[in-house]
Structure formats: C-alpha cells, structure tokens
Amino acid sequence: MGVLVGKKAPSFSAGAVINGGEIVEGFSLDQYIGKNPVVLFFYPKDFTFVCPSELHAFQAKLAEFEARGAKVVACSTDTEESHWGWLQVPKNKGGIEGITYPIVADTTKTISDAYGVLAGEYEYNDEMEMVATGPMIAYRGLFLIDKAGIVMHQLVNNFPLGRNVDEALRMVDALQFFEENGEVCPANWQKGDDGMKASFDGVADYLASH
C-alpha cells in the first residue's frame, strides 16, 4: 500500500447510491474539485456488524461536515444493488436506513486498489489458475482530500478496528485552519486553539498552489 498524502487523489467514475436510495451511474469525486473538501472512507462489506456503526456515526455528524463545506462519501466493493438493499433495512435490524451521503459501488475493485486499501491481490498458481491471495475487499481506509483534489490525510485500519468520526472532523478543521491562516496545527489541536507559525518551504508551496 502506497502513501497518497501530497498526491492527487485517484479519479474514478462508478455507480453509487445517493440521497438514501437513488442509484446513479458515473459518480465521481471530480464534481467537488474547486468547491469542497471530501472525506472519502472505505468499509469492508455491506450487511456486516462493525460497518453499520461507522456509517451511522458519519451520518450523525453529517451536518457538522456540511457546515464546514465538506462532503462525505463512502465506498465498498459491493454492488449498487447491495447498497440499496442495505439502505432499506432499519438501523435496529442491522441496516443503514437513513444514510443520505453517497455510497460508491467499487464492484471492479479498481477504486480500492487505486487508493491502496484492497485486501489481497490476484495471482496465478502453479496450475496457471487465477487465485485471490486475500478477501479482495477494502480495509477501513479514510482519505481527506482538499478542494484542489490533493490527499491531505489518510488513515487505514484493519477490519476489526472501527474509526473515530470526531477525529475525521478534527482533521477537516485542521485543514481549513491551515488554509485560512497559513499556520500549522500542533499535536491534539482542536478547533479554536492557536496554531503555530510554519518554518518549512512545503507550507508556502502548498498555499501558493491554492
């Protein structure tokens, strides 16, 4: 898995479910370039146990992300139809009914692979049969992408480890504080705290390009 921080976020076009139940084709993060930062997060599978807790946690904080102009987008290797079906199941029955942000269908697994979060790879065995070396689903990857389409933060957890949505929100705050003030955020920085004056050229280069 490569590090994408500081690089252009891989572009893609895929089917997705938006607005809690509308299936669309050709969904792309390109629509947000120049307009919104994006929190793109991957989860392993629909109809599982830890995954709905994460999806609902992001939904519970969605208004706070939107108040900051940030878009939240989820992605797994399931189909659009699987996403749609899971959205019809109530939360108290293990479903994700009520989720309104986009859920991308990475059915070809190319998006997960491009972002470096695909668990496993294809190879040929001694009989020249194609086999998978892993489950071929996404780890719990999270990527904060700025308005220019550059990855500013990434986090990848193994399957059993759920993420902290408040930390994702804090990183959006940190990015916006840096962009607005040109100051960097020290350890445990929270919105409202003071920043620090930067002393390395990378900060100036970033601000100049934005």
Beta-strand runs (E) in the chain: 14-18, 22-27, 38-42, 71-76, 103-105, 118-119, 122-124, 130-132, 137-138, 140-145, 151-157, 183-184, 196-197
Residues tagged active-site: 51
In a domain, 80, yes or no: yes
DSSP type of residue 11: P
CATH code, domain with 44: 3.40.30.10
In a domain, 81, yes or no: yes
**Is the pTM higher than 0.85?**
yes
In a domain, 77, yes or no: yes
pLDDT classification of 121: cutoffs 50, 70, 90: confident
Burial profile 57-71: b = 16 or more Cβ within 10 angstroms, e = fewer: bbbebbeebeeeebb
In a domain, 153, yes or no: yes
Give the range of the structural domain holding residue 45, as residue numbers without chain letter: 14-163
Are the C-beta atoms of residues 179 and 200 closer than 8 Å to each other? no
List, for residues 128-148, the tens digit of each pLDDT value.
888 888 899 999 999 999 999
pLDDT classification of 127: cutoffs 50, 70, 90: confident
